A and B are shown apart, each in its own frame.
Chain A
Amino acid sequence: MTFYIISISLLAFVAVYALMGVWAERKISALIQDRVGPVEVGKFGLIQTFADILKLLQKEDIIPTRANKFLFALAPLLVFTSVFMGFAVMPFSPDYISSNINIGLFYFMAIVSIEVVGILMAGWASNNKYAFFGSIRSIAQIIAYEIPAGISILAAVMMYQSLNLQNIAYLQGIYSKEPIYFMGFWEVSKIGGIFSWGIFQAPHLFIAAIIYFIASLAESNRTPFDIPEAESELVSGFHVEYTGFKFGALFLAEYAMMFLTSMVLVILFLGAWYSPLPNIGSFALADYTNGTFWGLAWILLKTLALVVVQMWIRWTLPRFRADQLMNFCWKVLIPLSFACLFLSAFWKLIVL
């Protein structure tokens, strides 16, 4: 019974988050470009996207005549399901994780890779050259960027010595059973707060976090790595033939993916559900502001802040060219992430 309640509430959360995410994206882009964005439907246009999805669900569900009908229908389902399955291993607070498995991070990496198959399926089944180009680009990009993402994650995993996301979360604050050092020299196990977060446990983890963030932008097809969608070149990439509910599912998956990758970044490097406030002498701020509900609030706050940063990046940086994208991945990010990996090994053997 609890299984159903939890999965349905997660689905509801993802759906509402995606709608608000679309609203936030439109509003942020509008304000950055000195426009006003949605303002008519509801206060500040807050329910504009709810009206949009209502319209989208009523639309005729068009399947192109020459499309592969089975794959065409399966693709959005696969994309959304794979992203949604990723939420199963996310620790939302110290006491709550849907599935507390030892290979949580590995499972996350695997499940997110399935999304690529869905995107290829969508592009192939549409029988449209733009959709196919989009999906080919997406495959090349996601497979390339999974390497720096995986290796920077590995650098963090070597520091934490665990693949269980809940264990990793515990190791970044006052509830940790093992001692935590700020940059390897200052014991902060009892101080907690922002000083015990993953990015401050070792200098190279800071770089690993940045590498993972860049790679996660590419994995969720966000600007500056949105060449699979590239509106000005490919109309809208792999989902150009989709309408109605199927298009809605693909859109939902894109925003859910943004949330998921941001959440993994928060769990690995930004203290998961720990409060950023440290214990200062008798002001035990970290003790006060940690707990089940505090944890839920902190992790959502941090993740949503990262999502907003992703949107900010989208409306600031122009799109990479395909060759620049590959150059950047193979010549910059992968060597850097390997350096982080070796530094992790070095750090674990010699410094601590």
Chain B
Amino acid sequence: MSKLTNILKSVAGIVKGFALTAKHLFRSSKTVRENIQSDTYFSERTDNTSTLRYPHIKLPLPDNSRNQLHVEIDDCIVCDLCAKICPVDCIEIEAIKAVEDIGKTSDGTTKRLHAAQFDIDMAKCMFCGLCTIVCPTECIIMTDEYDVSLDNVAAMNYHFSTMTAEEASRNKIKLAAFEAEKKAAKEAALKATQEKKEEGNV
């Protein structure tokens, strides 16, 4: 008798299992996933699949998520703070002094330096986010992009400077000329004061 009830129990269990899988089979296959902060996120889903069709649907990122870096070079004042604070030295900046003010950033700071080179090596980057904190003009930011794959490690060194080598050398020549002029003017002024002094002594 107990054997018979055992068999019946097993059959009932199997039928239950089949009913369960059939129910899931015919359930809606649409994918909806809300933000992790919503109240229903952890409750059991009854009408959709668990798969997030990733490239088509992305989960919203937290505000403090740390991803790929981006530099808005027009807003950069080339202060070099980011390169200085970087714990792994992945930011390489070459600055050229401008002979005059070269415009303003979007928050009104005057730019006095040309960024001849602004490279961030994302292969070295440890995503600490310190550079984004120290930046006075908030031109270096973390984007939403986190799925980057490249087939060449050199391609991970991002170049943000828009300045060409030609422009850089032209700016360097300009700066050298300006400095030479300044030096000459200074020497002339020095000479003039010395001559004045000598005249006074006489």
**Residues on the B chain within 8 Å of A315, using CB:** 21
Number of interface residues of A (CB under 8 A): 14
> B24 an interface residue at 8 Å Cβ cutoff?
yes
> Assuming A31-B24, A312-B22, is B17 touching A36 (CB within 8 A)?
no
- A312 contacts B18, CB within 8 Å? yes
- Chain B nearest CB from A344 CB (Å) reads 24
A24 CB to nearest chain B CB (Å) = 12
B49 x A36 contact (CB < 8 A): yes
A9 within 8 A of B: no
Say yes or no for B27: interface residue by CB 8 A criterion.
yes
The listed residue (A39, A312, A313) touching B25 by CB distance below 8 A is A312
What's the Cα separation between A224 and B51 when bound, in Å?
Answer: 26
In the complex, A179→B18 CA distance in Å?
A: 37
- Identify the closest chain A residue to B50 (Cβ): A34
| CB-defined contacts of A30 to chain B, threshold 8 Å | 51
Instruction: Tell me which residues from 1 to 52 in chain B have a Cβ below 8 Å from any Cβ of chain A.
Output: 14, 17-18, 20-22, 24-27, 29, 31, 45, 48-51
List residues of A (208-258) whose CB comes within 8 Å of B's CBs.
none
CB–CB A39/B17 < 8 A: no
Residues of chain A in range 15-32 having any CB-CB distance to chain B below 8 Å: 28, 30-32
Most A CB contacts (10 A, CB to CB) among B29, B31, B45 go to B29
Q: Is A317 close to B, CB under 8 A?
A: yes
- B194 smallest CB distance to A (angstroms): 82
* Docked-complex contact A39 and B24, CB < 8 angstroms: no
Closest to A308 in B: B25
Q: Is the interface of A mostly helix, strand, loop or mixed?
A: loop
A33 at the interface (CB under 8 A from B): yes
CA distance A36 to B17 in the complex (A): 21
B58 at the interface (CB under 8 A from A): no
Chain A, Cβ-Cβ closest to B19: A316
A32 adjacent to B53 (CB under 8 Å) = no
Across-interface contacts of B51 in A (CB, < 8 A): 30, 34-36
Give CA–CA (A317, B45) in the complex, Å.
23
The residue from A31, A33, A34, A316 contacting B17, defined by CB atoms under 8 A apart: A316
A32 to B21, Cβ gap below 8 A?
yes
On chain B, the residues within 8 Å of A313 by CB distance are: 18
Q: Please name all residues of chain B whose beta carbon is closer than 8 Å to the beta carbon of A316 when the two chains form the complex.
A: 14, 17-18, 20-21
Complex A-B: 20 CB contacts under 8 Å: A28-B25, A30-B51, A31-B24, A31-B26, A31-B27, A32-B25, A33-B24, A34-B24, A34-B27, A34-B50, A36-B29, A36-B31, A36-B51, A312-B18, A313-B18, A315-B21, A316-B17, A316-B20, A316-B21, A317-B14
Not counting A28-B25, A34-B51, a sample of 12 additional A-B residue pairs whose C-beta atoms are within 8 angstroms of each other reads A31-B25, A31-B49, A32-B24, A34-B50, A35-B49, A35-B50, A36-B51, A39-B53, A312-B22, A313-B18, A316-B18, A317-B14
- Measured CB to CB, the residues of A under 8 A from B are 28, 30-36, 39, 312-313, 315-317
